[in-house]
Amino acid sequence: MERIAVIGAGVSGLTVANLLKHKYIVKVFEKEAVPGGLIRCRRVQGNLFHICGGHIFNSRRSDVLDWFWAHFDRESEFLKADRNSVVAFPDGRKVPYPVEDHVYLFPEETQKKVVSELVELASKGQGGAENFEEFLQKRFGRTLYELYFKPYNEKVWRRPLGTVPLSWLEGKLPMPSVQEILFNNINRVQEKAFVHSSFWYEKKGGSQFIADRLSESLDIVYGADIASLSFDGAKWTVAGELFDVVVFCGNLKDLPQMLHGVDAGGRLDFIDGLEYHGTTSVLCTIDANPYSWVYQPGHEHKSHRIICTGNFAESNNAPGKLSASIEFTDDISKEEIIDNLSRMPFHPEYIDHNYSRYTYPIQDAHTREQVAALKDMLAGYRLYLSGRFADWEYYNMDVAMGAAMDLCKTL
């Protein structure tokens, strides 16, 4: 049997290792002390803390669902929930998500403006956007753009939306036509097209439960921060051991310094310029409410969303409290967090926070092409890339699993 080294025990590395373990001798190297990467959780004062986000699961791909449920007992280990999300506006109004389907809840003047803009867009055509700003204006009209899409997305992305290319958001963006928006408003239709309109969540342990289960029966070396991948013309040396194949599920940014014995011919040069965002996740207790996510476009504080993780599973809460994970883009100090929380709905009370430097990869118009060329070249050395920051793609867990499955089929 050939030997494969998998770098990283996040969702991608765990998927690759499980898929290949019967065909190869697989060894996983993980720099942290536990598996999970971005989906890691820990308990603080009796509350479950998703150290990054508030991960829920679903997928459009039936092969991913089949593979996933082969590892879990859906009925006894998971809860199924419907998304119940709102946009909390600074004036206290809470409009269900997505806002464009609930225009009838805005003041009459706003409704009239939105309808006339949508009618105008329908007659002019909505295609041909060059950037995110143009896309949003052509899809939803100027009024909804100014009210929600612009302020919300500027908080998330911290840059003018006119400078954001569209390619990196493909498949992530809602694409309702004017006809659908009007139809949904007239008929009070609840949006079901999103992949996470309904979702699965672990009864106990949050997404760490997924990582722990998927790492059972794997050979994983924890605390192994791999700094070098060295090719001698036939085999790879990783942490002093020889391997035939390497699957890299870490971060592209680290790759140029790590690689030895590879003639990259300039194909690594683009990596230095790749942009990304980090996230500060804040564990809080909040007032009782029925929501899963609360989106916050207002500029009176810097957080863009509250994930009411305490509503996902009762076991996430300390007795008598409801916990939540509140997100801020990039690094923000504890003092600033506490100051911002004082201006947010549902009276959040700070418990703990965590900053993750790499959470959102940002692509430009050339990134996919450049990553594809790099992957082609590395495949010649039997080094493969798979993962959110290895592929530099805005993957959800299920999409990361799907990408790992697609890769493994080719090995």
Ligand X SMILES: Cc1cc2nc3c(=O)[nH]c(=O)nc-3n(C[C@H](O)[C@H](O)[C@H](O)COP(=O)(O)OP(=O)(O)OC[C@H]3O[C@@H](n4cnc5c(N)ncnc54)[C@H](O)[C@@H]3O)c2cc1C
- Residue ranges binding ligand X (CB under 6 A): 7-13, 29-32, 37-39, 52-53, 55-57, 224-226, 249-251, 254, 279, 359, 387-389, 395-398, 400
CB of 58 to ligand X, least distance (A): 8
Burial class (CB in 10 A: 0-12, 13-18, 19+), 314: exposed
Burial class (CB in 10 A: 0-12, 13-18, 19+), 235: middle
The two structure tokens encoding residue 53: 């986000």
CB of 186 to ligand X, least distance (A): 31
C-beta of 250 vs 297, nearer to ligand X: 250
Q: For residue 86, how many other CB atoms are within 10 A of its CB?
A: 22
C-beta of 113 vs 353, nearer to ligand X: 353
C-beta of 117 vs 393, nearer to ligand X: 393
Burial class (CB in 10 A: 0-12, 13-18, 19+), 280: buried
DSSP 105-140: GS-HHHHHHHHHHHHHHHHH------BHHHHHHHHH
CB of 195 to ligand X, least distance (A): 9
What is the helix (H) or strand (E) element at residue 305, kind and residue range? strand 305-307
Closest CA to 151 of 358, 294, 282, 295: 295
Residue with tokens 């506490």: 338
CB of 30 to ligand X, least distance (A): 5
C-beta of 87 vs 226, nearer to ligand X: 226
The DSSP code for 247 is: E
**CA–CA separation, 154 and 43 (whole Å):** 32
CB of 39 to ligand X, least distance (A): 5
CB of 251 to ligand X, least distance (A): 5
CB of 173 to ligand X, least distance (A): 16
Q: Are strands 275-286 and 349-362 parallel, antiparallel or unpaired?
A: antiparallel
Query: Dihedral of the CA atoms 148, 154, 156, 158 (nearest 10)?
Result: -170
C-beta of 110 vs 354, nearer to ligand X: 354
C-beta of 32 vs 244, nearer to ligand X: 32
C-beta of 57 vs 231, nearer to ligand X: 57
**Nearest-5° angle of CA 7, CA 9, CA 10?**
115
CB of 26 to ligand X, least distance (A): 15
The two structure tokens encoding residue 130: 């060059």
C-beta of 149 vs 201, nearer to ligand X: 201
